[in-house]
Structure 1
Amino acid sequence: MKIADAVQTLTVDAPPIRFEAYDGSAFGDAGAPFSLRLVSERGLSYLATAPGDLGLARAYVAGDLDLAGAHPGDPYEALKALGTWRFRRPTPREVSVLVREIGWRRLMPPTPPPQESLPRWRRNLEGLRHSRNRDAGAIGKHYDVSNRFYELVLGPSMAYTCAVFRKPDASLEEAQEEKFDLVARKLGLAPGMRLLDVGCGWGGMVRHAAKHYGVQALGVTLSAEQASWARAAVERDGLTGQVEILHRDYRDSPGSNYDAVSSIGLLEHVGVKNYPSYFGYLAGKLRDGGRLLNHCITRPDNLARALPGQFIDRYVFPDGELTGSGRIITEAQNAGLEVRHEENLREHYALTLREWNANLVANWDACVAEVGEATARVWGLYMAGSRLGFETNGVQLHQVLAVKVPESGDAGFPLRPDWQS
């Protein structure tokens, strides 16, 4: 049996894209804008031994599976079409025939691409999930890739979180500036205040707050590469003495009685079971009347399993966990914080990812030279897939604003939000 014949047998209706295999077989419209090409026997083994997104990812990252007609830096349109391809479950007899046709030799799992992290059970042998050492390793896996690579993909803002677009055609830099400013406005920042930014990344929030709001700011990141880049940016911006960047776990942030705490893209790495201690810790950093802004990716409900799919866990965010905004609000309230406002910015994240993919395409050769083609393919795939997820409400992005209410009960908020401009 030819490979394309086997795939066609399990396909429901006409495929949305053409399928081609290394044995010369094919099916689907020859004029389709995209073709899924299985180019090697190893690719077949990847697909056969790890059904689902992990096998597809392994074959694609290794170059054994290709999406012809799509740029590897932005396979969004191809993934959108591929997502409409429907398969049926094979019968036991069909499974037997397929195994016989594929051959036992091809059912031996090939070595995964080097970009893949160990499976969770192996990582569990090396330390408890979200222990300090394991968190440091997970953060390093994703964020210590290459500062130059991030510059090429993220652009001058070096902001690796959802931007806020005042209009759909706003530039990425305008949208990232608006995101930082929205956070600053929600926190009510003013000259002389003290801001703690946990998970500060490359220092975009603390530098914006210092330059435009006159605050004293401390940024904390667990990534050594981010800390190094951020310190240089602080010096370049002439903010030394007003902004400090520390390379350490957020749980080791120094100081107390901060006027405001921002957490932009950190909670995804904390672990749902650690939410009580996370919010309790940050509440303890605030003065009475101080505000906390939590900005993170969420699920559309509070029932789904927190752990991500295999591709995201192995190739993108090891040990990352997501839950719904309701769980986040509950844990913030249980830590003694009063939640004053929340909003969902998922459409904005889809637009942000669109721009990151465009940057990756525009700088493809430089990105490949910096990190290798396989890693660049991981990024193109994950960002395009994530864009689809935000567009279709598979994932969301919530900002939750809370305050540490003093005994007087005066939260210091206006009767109506004053941060919407």
Structure 2
Amino acid sequence: MTAYLYDIKDPALAEAGTNRIEWAYAEMPVLRLLADRFVAARPLAGIRIAACLHVTAETANLARVLTAGGAEVALCASNPLSTQDDVAASLALHYGISVFAHRGDDNDSYYSRLHAALDSRPQISIDDGADLVNLLHTKRRDLLPDILGGTEETTTGVIRLRAMAADGALEYPMIAVNDAATKHMFDNRYGTGQSTLDGVLRATNVLIAGKVVTICGYGWCGRGVAMRAAGLGAKVIVTEVNPVRALEASMDGFRVMQLIDAAPQTDLLITVTGDKHVVDSHHLAKLKDGCIMANSGHFDVEINLPALKAASSGVTAPRPNVEEYRMHDGRRLRVLGEGRLVNLAAAEGHPPAVMDMSFANQALAAVHIRNNHNTLAKQVYTVPEELDMEVASLKLASLGTTIDVLTPEQEAYLKSWQEGT
């Protein structure tokens, strides 16, 4: 095994990071079961993995499981504000894992650490947002011959990868872990729903009950945020561009309208679309005084921050993770976490119990790539159904929950066409 390297902010934080990692591990029974299996079978022996993920306690436990399976892991951050520096220190000093991550990186230092992870010459890439894949296809193409395949954690990254595949630009097979039922139905809905509101509350300490909360986007993440906001007593408005999702939001009991109409009445605006400039200049001009804006999409482009700065006379920081822009007409508009992922910029991200399933999918998908890369084309694949079902079964077992099993007669009936009325 090659010597591990690291670039962390503060080695003195390692003990605190270990405590945080072990606390999370206790809430991740599926990963613990996989770790036992991986130690025995070593399904990733000798495989080099570069992972660009949020460097949190939950991610640390994925790295531990991959290492238990025999992989050599190089980890870097997928967002400048998502790194938990104590976790990075612990991974480097207590677990012997190569990690390159500092909270608060600027653009240059952020990408320098991605390059450091790629210097390990990976055979499998694990991404959250497709930044590693992008670098491999642009500035590090010399590494492409070594790549067997990769996995992608989030909606934004899958969108980028499918665009690459459609353009014929994708040079190796990718598995869209985000599209696994045990990922998007739980991580995106329950994880994002809870952690987004957690970030807003930690940053602001405002009362949600009675406030008008506008949520841009009603995909799985938007559904979760809307559900949690309503549970806290908010008056929820949903904006959408997809008529089916808009109809679903309406039938779920939420008001649905265009953002330009919602803006004047909105107290808290949350974007979860994965698109650019969802909140644009004409929306900013209509937002009410004191409106709080937060983003829970992957990149900091959903709120048009350059337009906001151009329309303001100055900015102050009344609280950590809060920037207050004074508009020329006297209104105050507040942005949380610099417009980046509020659940990680201002809080700790998803709870470990939900990341347990997402990262179990990542670990099993990596093994699937190792075993099947010779038969995989240069395209984006969904997680094989049998892996998805395995993760769900392991999670149910950890909860002490049993379910029924089809009888041979029932299986035969579901596969037949002869029987009718």
Q: TM range, normalised to the smaller chain?
A: 0.3 to 0.5
Normalised TM-score (structure 1): 0.37
Normalised TM-score (structure 2): 0.37
